[in-house]
Structure 1
Amino acid sequence: MFTASDQRALRAVAVQFFVNGAIFASFIPRLPEIRDRVDISVAEIGLLMSIAGVSGLVGSAVVGPAVSRFGTRLVMLVAGALTALSLPVIGVARAPWVLLVGLIALQTFDVLMDVAMNLQGSWLSARRHTPVMTRLHGLWSLGTVIGGVSASRVAAAGISLSTHLVCAAAILLAALGFASRGLLRVDEHSGSESTEAPAQTIPNGRRVSPVLAAFLLVGFFSIALESTAIDWAAFRLTDDFSASTGLAALGYVAVATGMTAGRFTGDLIAARLGGSRLLSMSTIMTGGGLAAATLTPDQTVTLIGYAIAGLGVANLSPILYDAAAQHPGRPGAGLGALTAGLRAAFLTIPLLVGTLAASRLSVGSAIAVVTLPSFIGFLAMTGLISRVRSS
């Protein structure tokens, strides 16, 4: 039964999703400006982002014990506050090591906040007649749109990076404090140990390892497609088209807007056409959008391509998470493999794109070199998972 307190908790969790998206969008559109301020190359900032990605693995390792010890509410609030406070560190950085400290803090505490808010969101979604997890992720995307548009406007207005990120952190902290009163104070415990399927119930033990490997790889490829669109759109416009800082930020906004629209409409499309068709449509839009965004010499077409790519990647992660959660055998095995692939991509893709962009390739060509194999690999792995599950 979904009670009034559950409704308040759901609204509070929705605020957490929105704030989390806004935190990232506050600085990513201004990465080219951050790079110039710190006086490093595009390859070096890719290296720093990859090094910071290691801290995401650290956060993944400690989040389970932290939630068990302190509960999701406290973990969410403390991690959310520390994530927001990393923005001023990034904003005042004038040396690479200071920027790295800010990025490491952001990556570490974001993992803790992400897991805690998804746990509460999942528990509340299960109590309702209709699920809300996709719409919660839609609110995260909406937060990225609002944060991205704000970053674009303040950059165009000439507001300094440090002032912008300090003010953004203060606003986000106030939003987190306001929402804290409604969050669930008691966590649910499903007793997963007692519900774990015995090994002999798995239809074919020889198929488990290939499918888990496929989940790991499809997680890697999906984030390769998503992160190259989100993280490098501004660099594509500044470095390849000599766009202003304010205009370059619109590349990120185009992706984020497409993702937001896709996530708020994904449930409706899946209900009418089915999940398989939604996945096929999303994959086609992702590939076509990224091709237009990275290979065309026109700035307007590039922005349109990023918006289409955003529509496509919007539903890839929700569909994959659902498939991994339904994987037979030990509970969490599919999700564990999928998230391992996600973190591996966050660790390696920025360095790879940055290194290629620092060579004779343009930023668009560097992104295309990474996304084309990732797109082919994504198609192969989703096909393998679908065939094995259907058999």
Structure 2
Amino acid sequence: MSTASDQRALRAVAVQFFVNGAIFASFIPRLPEIRDRVDISVAEVGLLMSIAGVSGLVGSAVVSPTVSRLGTRRVMLFAGALTSLSLPVIGVARTPWVLLVGLIALQTFDVLMDVAMNMQGSWLSARRHTPVMTRLHGLWSLGTVIGGVSASRIAGANISVSVHLVCATAILLLALGFASRSLLRVDEHPGGGSTNGAKQGSPAKRRVSAVLVAFLLVGFLSIALESTAIDWAAFRLTDDFAAPTGVAALGYVAVAAGMTAGRFSGDFIAAQVGETRLLSMSIILTGVGLSAATLSPDQTLTFGGFAVAGLGVANLSPILYDTAAQHPGRPGTGLGALTAGLRTANLTVPLLVGTLAATRLSVGSAIAIVTLPAVIGFLAMASLISGVRSRALGD
């Protein structure tokens, strides 16, 4: 049963989700400008993002022991502050090496903040009559919308990236400080860190390992869809349609707006049609949207396609995060496996898209080659995901 302290903690966690979304939205829409200022190609942008992704993968490996030792509250606040402080480094970068340092810091601390806030969000959601995990992720998306719209307007006003990101960091740190006192101070976890006494090689142990592998695979596929659409929407418009910077940034906003609408309505839709059907509907919608966004020769249809794709991917991550957070065993194990898949995709997918876009292919074609097969793979795994969720929650 939810209490008054739980309500305060939920509001504080909601702030964390919003801030985390705003962090990325502050600089991703302006990546084309940063690329030009640093004087690198779109392929080199993809390479730097992939290199930085290694640190996120390392973070996934250490997140479980870190959370077990420090607790989710301290990890969330520490990592949230350092993730925010990476923005000015990106903002002042004039060389690829400085940009890489900022991206590495961002990826390293983001994974810690990501896991900690989802663990607290899942615990608080489980105490309520009506779950809230999808809406928490909706607040993350709302943060990306507000941050993306702000970035577009700021770019249109010819305010420098460095000034923009320094000011954004100050605002984000104030928001984190406001929420810090109300977060849960005592962690909980299904299974109490136990593996139910299963010995290595036993059926129970093999089942747990299979579940963790499933988390890793669906994490990879989900980020290949979600982040590729977000990260490359602006490049699709600048490089394929010669759109000005302020207009191109709205491609990012279109994805984020679709995600926000889908996440704030996701709990209601799941209650009406069931989670398995929602997953299938979402992935089909993602495929339709990405096809229009990446293959259409019309700029307006491209904007619409990105919005539909955002609506489609909206409910994938909340369901996956909630399932992984409830996985029994050592705190953060399920989320560690899920984020390992996410970070592996962050490591490989930008490099692949950037390399393809540097050829004679358009940016849209490069995105399509990477994402449309992922749509098929995710659709094939939809029933498996539902089964993994049932077993994790049943344990």
Taking structure 1 as the reference length, what is the TM-score of the superposition?
0.92
Structure 1 portions without partners, runs of 5+: none
Amino acid at match of 1:148: G
Q: Provide the C-alpha distance between the structure 1 equivalents of 2:20 and 2:107, rounded to a whole number of angstroms.
A: 12
1:252 aligns with 2:252: yes
Q: CA deviation at 1:382?
A: 2.7
Q: Provide the C-alpha distance between the structure 2 equivalents of 1:203 and 1:70, rounded to a whole number of angstroms.
A: 32
CA deviations 1:181-225 (Å, max 9, x no partner) are: 21222323555344627479x989987766654443332222111
* Counterparts in 2 of 1:17 and 1:210: CA distance versus 1, 3 Å: closer
1:376 aligns with 2:376: yes
CA deviations 1:350-388 (Å, max 9, x no partner) are: 000000000111100111111122122222233555689
Amino acid at match of 2:244: S
Q: What is the CA RMSD across the aligned residues, in angstroms? A: 2.7
1:94 aligns with 2:100: no
SS of equivalent to 2:129: coil
CA deviations 1:148-182 (Å, max 9, x no partner) are: 00000000111111110010001111111111121
Q: CA deviation at 1:349?
A: 0.1
Partner of 1:173: 173
Structure 2 portions without partners, runs of 5+: none
Q: Provide the C-alpha distance between the structure 2 equivalents of 1:225 and 1:342, rounded to a whole number of angstroms.
A: 11
Q: Provide the C-alpha distance between the structure 2 equivalents of 1:366 and 1:282, rounded to a whole number of angstroms.
A: 22
Amino acid at match of 2:79: A
Q: CA deviation at 1:38?
A: 0.4
Partner of 2:151: 151
Contact kept? 1:293, 1:306, Cα under 8 Å: yes
Q: CA deviation at 1:61?
A: 2.6
1:302-321 pair list within 5 angstroms:
302-321=302-321
Amino acid at match of 1:315: N
Partner of 2:267: 267
* Counterparts in 2 of 1:385 and 1:114: CA distance versus 1, 3 Å: closer
1:18 aligns with 2:18: yes
SS of equivalent to 1:158: coil
Partner of 2:129: 129
Partner of 2:356: 356
Contact kept? 1:288, 1:309, Cα under 8 Å: yes
Q: Provide the C-alpha distance between the structure 1 equivalents of 2:285 and 2:307, rounded to a whole number of angstroms.
A: 10
Partner of 2:223: 223
- Percent identity (aligned): 84
Contact kept? 1:148, 1:253, Cα under 8 Å: yes
Q: Provide the C-alpha distance between the structure 2 equivalents of 1:70 and 1:329, rounded to a whole number of angstroms.
A: 17
Partner of 1:115: 115
Q: Provide the C-alpha distance between the structure 1 equivalents of 2:388 and 2:159, rounded to a whole number of angstroms.
A: 54
Q: Provide the C-alpha distance between the structure 2 equivalents of 1:57 and 1:213, rounded to a whole number of angstroms.
A: 15
SS of equivalent to 1:185: coil
- Equivalenced residue count is 391
Q: Provide the C-alpha distance between the structure 1 equivalents of 2:233 and 2:374, rounded to a whole number of angstroms.
A: 17
CA deviations 1:209-261 (Å, max 9, x no partner) are: 66654443332222111111010000000000011111000000000000010
Partner of 2:338: 338
Q: Provide the C-alpha distance between the structure 1 equivalents of 2:216 and 2:384, rounded to a whole number of angstroms.
A: 12
Q: Provide the C-alpha distance between the structure 2 equivalents of 1:207 and 1:136, rounded to a whole number of angstroms.
A: 30
Deviates most, 74-83 or 126-135: 126-135
Taking structure 2 as the reference length, what is the TM-score of the superposition?
0.91
Amino acid at match of 1:373: P
Contact kept? 1:141, 1:260, Cα under 8 Å: yes
